[in-house]
């Protein structure tokens, strides 16, 4: 069985089309890394190219829908009821360094709620998708979050902080505190959307990260929830709109991890 709905099918078509040029661009990175100029500008244009293909494809299906995107900002802002939330390459630093761990992330939001989403890892050929009320899938298989009960046994993942973050020191001490509570060292894989996808299919038990952008996690929200996980936008008082602090878990470890995180940053 696989998940099939009009919105999911439109997103999948856009991902397939965009991934052709994305994979080609990724193949170029190795050559550029040894060049004196480096791959920086090339990656920026790969990001823009991928996003353009996605936007064109989605616009063909619904010309009236709005967009919130990493590269082009907000498009058709009059329509706030139906919006696509897009990150064309999530895990840009991995992509830039030739590390095969990045994804296209596309969520569909209706009246301020993410209704469905796709996270597509073109290198591993893994498609994570979900629709509200219809479950979460990895390729054609239904996925569920892990069953681990105790935080100390959990495999956790996080990301950031950005060097310029005002909360940098606090975020580092929070990381140390959480590290002391769990047996396994905390992972940092560098792609927020794939971190969320991996919570949904039980590879990780808990994920948290501060100061993210909405497009990093929009698709992941519905995928984690539909896989039986818990998503919490903790301390959601950031002044900048579209910025999010997120905690996504298998549900079982939510309270324990939540109290630890909130306790350590204020």
- Span interacting with ligand 2AM, options 54-62, 143-151, 174-182, 186-194, rule CB under 6 A: 186-194
Bridge partners for 110 per DSSP: 82, 113
Question: Which listed residue (25, 47, 51, 90) binds Ca ion by CB under 5 A?
Answer: 90
Residue nearer to ligand 2AM on the CB measure, 14 or 103: 103
Task: Name the binder of 160 from Ca ion, ligand 2AM, none, CB < 5-8 A by kind.
Answer: ligand 2AM
Residue 4 contacts by C-beta under 8 Å, 6 or more apart in sequence? Answer: none
The answer to whether residue 195 forms part of the interface with Ca ion (CB under 5 A) is: no
What x/- string results for residues 103 through 142 when contact with ligand 2AM is judged by CB under 6 A? Answer: ----------------------------------------
Rounded least distance, CB 196 to Ca ion, Å: 11
Ranges within 24-53 binding ligand 2AM (CB under 6 A):
none
Geometric angle at alpha carbon 166, from 163 and 168, rounded to 5°:
55
User: In the complex, what is the shortest distance from the CB of residue 107 to ligand 2AM, in angstroms, rounded to a whole number?
Assistant: 14
Query: Quick one: what does residue 105 bind among ligand 2AM, Ca ion, none, with the CB cut-off 5 to 8 Å set by partner type?
Result: none
* 159 is an interface residue for ligand 2AM by CB under 6 A: yes
Q: Does 216 bind Ca ion (CB under 5 A)?
A: yes
Tell me the torsion sign for CA atoms 198, 202, 208, 212: positive
72 interacts with ligand 2AM by CB under 6 A: no
> In this chain, which residue has its C-beta nearest to ligand 2AM?
159
**Minimum CB distance to Ca ion, residue 254 (Å):** 24
HEC assignment per residue over the chain: CCCCCHHHHHHHHHHHHHHHHHHHHHHHHHHHHCCCCCCHHHHHHHHHHHHHHHHHHHHHHCCCCEEEECCCEEECCCCCCEEEEEEEEECHHHHHCCCCCCEEEEEEEECCEEEEEEEEECCCCEEEEEECCCCEEECCEECCCCCCCCHHHCCEEECCCCCCCCCHHHHHHHHHHHHHHCCCCCECCCCHHHHHHHHHCCCCCEEEEEEEEHHHHHHHHHHHHHCCCEEECCCCCCCCCCEEEEEEECCCCHHHHHHHHHHHHC
Options 89-97, 116-124, 165-173, 194-202: segment touching Ca ion (CB under 5 A):
89-97
> Of residues 212, 222, 257, 261, which one binds ligand 2AM by CB under 6 A?
212
Site for Ca ion in 59-88 (CB under 5 A): 87
Region of 146-154, 171-179, 184-192, 197-205 interacting with ligand 2AM (CB under 6 A) = 184-192
Q: What is the rounded CA–CA span in Å between residue 93 and residue 254?
A: 29
How many whole angstroms from its chain centre is CA 212?
10
Which of 69, 92, 127, 245 binds ligand 2AM (CB under 6 A)? It is 92
Shortest Å distance, C-beta 90 to Ca ion: 4
Applying CB under 6 A, the residues found at the interface with ligand 2AM are 87, 90-92, 159-160, 162, 190-192, 211-213, 216
């Amino acid at each position: 069985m696989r998940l099939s709905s009009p919105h999911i099918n439109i997103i999948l078509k856009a991902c397939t089309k965009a991934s052709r040029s994305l994979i080609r661009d990724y193949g170029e990175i190795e050559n550029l890394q040894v060049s004196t100029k480096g791959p920086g500008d090339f990656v920026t244009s790969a990001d823009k190219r991928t996003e353009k293909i996605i936007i064109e494809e989605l616009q063909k299906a619904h010309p009236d829908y709005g967009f919130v995107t990493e590269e082009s900002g907000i498009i058709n802002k009059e329509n706030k009821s139906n919006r696509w939330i897009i990150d064309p390459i999530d895990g840009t630093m991995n992509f830039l360094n030739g590390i095969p761990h990045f994804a296209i992330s596309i969520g569909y939001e209706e009246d301020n709620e993410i209704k469905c989403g796709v996270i597509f890892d073109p290198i591993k050929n893994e498609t994570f998708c979900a629709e509200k009320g219809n479950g979460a899938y990895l390729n054609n298989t239904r996925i569920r979050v892990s069953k681990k009960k105790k935080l100390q046994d959990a495999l956790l993942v996080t990301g950031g902080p950005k060097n310029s973050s005002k909360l940098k020191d606090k975020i580092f001490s929070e990381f140390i505190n959480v590290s002391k509570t769990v047996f396994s060292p905390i992972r940092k894989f560098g792609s927020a959307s794939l971190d969320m996808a991996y919570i949904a299919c039980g590879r990780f038990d808990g994920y948290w990260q501060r100061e993210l952008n909405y497009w990093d996690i929009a698709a992941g929200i519905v995928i984690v929830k539909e896989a039986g996980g818990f998503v919490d936008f903790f301390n959601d008082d950031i002044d900048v709109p579209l910025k999010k602090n997120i905690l996504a878990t298998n549900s079982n470890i939510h309270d324990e991890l939540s109290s630890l995180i909130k306790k350590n940053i204020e």
